[in-house]
């Protein structure tokens, strides 16, 4: 799932999701309900402006729609 998500969105946004997951106490190596959750939240200013995010705004819901 990580590979397909990175293909669709770019590795940087997935790395941001992993960094956010780690920051908020989730497992950064598990996609479902962990990194996936934060990739979706990258469209909210509170998350895409977080210092751990290096790649800015992203409409993460589109990545999920493409892979399902």
Q: What pLDDT was estimated at residue 1?
A: 83
- Domain with 43, as residue range(s), is 2-67
Q: What pLDDT was estimated at residue 67?
A: 53
The domain tally of the chain equals 1
Q: What pLDDT was estimated at residue 21?
A: 98
**pLDDT below 70 — which residues of the chain?**
65-68
- Dist CA 68 CA 63 (whole Å): 9
- Dist CA 51 CA 33 (whole Å): 22
Q: What pLDDT was estimated at residue 68?
A: 47
First to last CA, the chain: 10
DSSP secondary structure letter of residue 26: S
Q: Which two tokens stand for residue 61?
A: 């819901």
Q: What pLDDT was estimated at residue 65?
A: 67
């Amino acid at each position: 799932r990580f590979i397909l998500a990175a293909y669709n969105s770019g590795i940087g946004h997935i790395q941001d999701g992993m960094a956010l997951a780690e920051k908020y106490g989730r497992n950064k190596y598990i996609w479902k309900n962990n990194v996936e959750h934060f990739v979706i939240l990258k469209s909210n200013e509170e998350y895409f402006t977080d210092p751990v995010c290096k790649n800015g705004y992203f409409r993460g819901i589109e990545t999920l729609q493409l892979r399902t």
